Structure 1
Amino acid sequence: MQYLVIAYDNEGALEKRLEVRDAHVEGTKKLMNEGKIINAGALIEEEQMVGSTLLVDFANDDEINDWLSNEPYVQNNVWNMEEFQIVPVKLLTK
């Protein structure tokens, strides 16, 4: 199922974000190659990264939970999981 993921960072998490960004990008690219992540990008406010948005395609909740349990931004408390949103979507195809 396809989902829009909106993940704002915890306040003051920019330094942590930058420290683990390479691991986050590496894992995201791997999942993009597998077709699990369709697209991803940083949320920007006042020219500063403040969160992430992703379009994902996971078969079930177990796959989403597995991704999240291994996601560097979750493991390192970058994303504010209290405001984390996963919204089902149906993306337009060619």
Structure 2
Amino acid sequence: MPQFLILADDYKDPDALSRRMSVRKDHLMRMRIEKAAGRFIVGGAKLNEQGNMHGSMLVVQLENEDAVKNWINEDPYIQGKVWEHVEILPFRIAEV
């Protein structure tokens, strides 16, 4: 199944981090479910110079880019207005 790299940037307004924190538990719960289903491979928060979260990186495995877009739109970080900009790139995990 195709893999995709998702790079997401948070909104930059003063309340962005508090919105992230308010839905973070729901986002992480969803990632646990998606990992068990084999759709979420790995991911984490992008950090700024102060060590604060300001975006995300995820590797997912889904049928196609449209499926990835739909998958992203169901995420609490989209629904909670955390992610402002999302980039989807075809990706392949190296087999070493």
Look up the SS of the partner of 1:80 in the other structure: strand
2:93 aligns to what? 91
2:77 aligns to what? 73
Comparing 84-93 with 63-72, greater Cα deviation is found at 63-72
Q: Deviations over 1:5-25 (max 9, x none)?
A: 000100131000000000000
Answer yes or no: is the 8 Å Cα contact 2:7–2:58 preserved in 1.
Answer: yes
Q: How do residues 1-94 of structure 1 correspond to structure 2 at under 5 angstroms?
A: 1-12=2-13, 13-45=16-48, 46-81=50-85, 84-94=86-96
Instruction: Name the aligned partner's letter for residue 60 of structure 1.
Output: N
Q: Which runs of 5+ in 2 are unaligned?
A: none
Query: TM-score, with normalisation over the residues of structure 1?
Result: 0.90
Q: Deviations over 1:13-63 (max 9, x none)?
A: 100000000000000111011110100100011210000000111112342
**How many residues align structurally?**
92
**Kindly, what percent of the aligned residue pairs are identical?**
32
What RMSD in Å do the two structures reach over aligned CA positions? 1.2
